[in-house]
């Protein structure tokens, strides 16, 4: 379990709106409350039809959800592919395009901490972002003017049990920010489902409680570690 001291900036790659809060909302809140600059790069935001929702969502609904969540959490954001029909189709983009996009963001923000989706997710969009993230953060000396992200972690989704056993290597206690995380997830109204669905508010809280129990605290978020240079 680590503290946020020393992390002045963080970049979160989020394939879709709400991934950032589901995977790292408690950590994001702790970082912004500590004065860190947090930027979320959302990849695909589109109007869409969803299982469990009686009507299609509109693009403006989804963009409004981002605005509300970002205001609650205190992060800045940008959307790479808005209204371009790329939802669940990021794997059809040339990987070079995603790598270039991520490198531009890394070189612009020069974050102390980078968060990527877990690479063993069954969602092809998450895997595409993970693979491009690996390429974008290959270790090249900083004297080449390419930013070397020294701390790179992967965040989990509540659905990961369907893909592979997620074995956390790092935890952040989020007891002080769990309620804010739940409020921010609630801002994504079109994405919520009733319990026992994995995207129910109760299930999301339960997962944070489970991760907390693994390190002896009330609530936590768990991450994989790709690189950690002090």
Range of lowest pLDDT (31-35, 82-86, 164-168): 164-168
Is residue 84 within a helix (H) or strand (E), and if so which, with residue range?
none
**5 — pLDDT class (breaks 50, 70, 90):** confident
Stretch 182-204: mean pLDDT, rounded? Answer: 89
Task: Name, in order, each residue with C-beta under 8 angstroms of 154's C-beta and a sequence gap of 6 or more.
Answer: 115, 116, 117, 118, 119, 130, 223, 224, 225, 226
pTM listed for this prediction:
0.93
Polymer length in residues for the chain: 230
Task: For strands 76-82 and 151-155, give the pairing.
Answer: unpaired
User: Is pLDDT of 1 > 60?
Assistant: no
**9 — pLDDT class (breaks 50, 70, 90):** very high
Q: Which structural domains are found in the chain, ordered by start?
A: 9-228 (3.40.50.10320)
Residue 181 neighbours by CB distance under 10 Å: 26
* pLDDT at residue 48 in the model: 78
Q: If you average pLDDT over each of 11-25, 133-147, 186-200, which comes out highest?
A: 11-25
């Amino acid at each position: 379990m680590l503290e946020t001291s020393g992390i002045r900036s963080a970049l979160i790659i989020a394939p879709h709106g709400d991934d950032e809060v589901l995977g790292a909302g408690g950590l994001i809140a702790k970082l912004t409350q500590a004065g860190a600059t947090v930027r979320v790069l959302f990849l695909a935001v589109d109007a869409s039809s969803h299982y469990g929702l009686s009507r299609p969502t509109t693009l403006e609904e989804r963009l409004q959800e981002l605005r509300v969540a970002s205001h609650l959490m205190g992060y800045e954001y940008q959307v790479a592919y808005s209204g371009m029909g790329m939802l669940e189709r990021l794997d059809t983009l040339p990987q070079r395009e995603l790598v270039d996009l991520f490198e531009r963001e890394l070189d612009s923000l020069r974050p102390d901490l980078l968060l990527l989706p877990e690479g063993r997710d069954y969602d092809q969009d998450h895997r595409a972002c993970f693979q491009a993230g690996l390429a974008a953060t290959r270790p090249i000396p900083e004297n080449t003017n390419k930013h070397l992200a020294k701390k790179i972690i992967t965040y989990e989704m509540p659905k990961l049990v369907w893909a592979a056993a997620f074995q956390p290597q790092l935890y952040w206690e989020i007891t002080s920010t769990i309620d804010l995380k739940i409020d921010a997830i609630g801002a994504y109204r079109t994405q919520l489902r009733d319990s026992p669905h994995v995207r129910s508010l109760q299930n999301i809280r339960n997962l944070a409680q489970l991760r907390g129990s693994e390190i002896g605290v009330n609530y936590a978020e768990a991450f994989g570690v790709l690189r950690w240079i002090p």
